[in-house]
Amino acid sequence: MGSQNKWTAADVPDQSGRVAVITGSNTGIGYHTALVLAEHGATVVLAVRDPEKGRAAAERIAKASPQAAVEVQRLDLSSLASVREAAEALSAAHPRIDLLINNAGVMYTPKQTTVDGFELQFGTNHLGHFALTGLLLPRMLPVQGSRVVTVSSMAHRIMAAIHFDDLQWEHGYNRIAAYGQSKLANLMFTYELQRRLAAKRKPTIAVAAHPGTANTELTRNLPPFLRPAERLLWPMVVQGAAMGALPTLRAATDTEVAGGQYYGPNGLGEQRGHPKLVEASKQAHDVELQQRLWAVSQELTGITFPV
């Protein structure tokens, strides 16, 4: 093992025999997470919106790692029908799932709604993953060492609150606050899921991670006023997607990880660096809010969990 404060992809233990489903894994952090898990022997399923891009990513992984077992599953998180279809196909193909990595996300999008009428960032980043997790959990609960890893963001602190009176931003819209709400929801979901798993004494754990400031396609919707700052500051704070994937990889594979933990970079302001245990905002730990969000998420998605 490398020293714990310089944890790298080389520290990922053997993943042979494990099945990992990773959302949004054809580019960026999701791709690098998939690549490393495949290199370490996992059967990796790229759950992506565009199967063609997914197949191209699978080919890149196979080139880098000829023995890799990589599959592609179409999944559009902004459609509950697509989430159900994907979950059915995955459950049929894989009697056991060891890892579900809720990685996909949209960021700072102009005001849009999903097919089901949810605000796009909340609908995709939180509700889509909430539904997918609930539907795949039966394949994970019997599996020793199984984990649900959900990727949040430092943005869970920025202008972030769960707007229960207007979850879908129908009365005014702020793309930064809406993103913050979705990423705060990712953490609250992780904590509430972990509490439920522990209460039922299940071997599955729920963990969260954030990549710091990573160079991915996510920033394509940055508001215009932030562009100059991005160009100026980006080279100083940003790290590559391979480094950005390390907190997720550690949360997914380090044998020391415990349920309800949160991993992020160890550098200044958690912007870059090697993964370490980090703290979420006080708000993210509010049990009453977590339970309220859980109840409303079940209502909106029509998904009830087996825990």
**What is each CA distance from 185 to 16, 55, 98, 201, in whole angstroms?**
32, 30, 23, 24
Burial call 259-288: b when 16+ CB within 10 Å, e when fewer: bbbbbbbbbeebbbbbbbbbebeeebebee
179 is catalytic: yes
165 token code pair: 């009176």
Name the residue among 144, 23, 16 with its Cα closest to residue 87. 23
Query: Residue holding tokens 């009176």?
Result: 165
- 142: how many CB neighbours lie within 10 A of its CB? 12
Query: Which is catalytic among the residues 179, 191, 262, 263?
Result: 179
Non-local CB neighbours of 254 within 8 Å, separated by 6+ positions: 7, 11
Query: Residue holding tokens 């959900």?
Result: 150
Question: What is the helix (H) or strand (E) element at residue 288, kind and residue range?
Answer: helix 287-301
Active site residues: 179
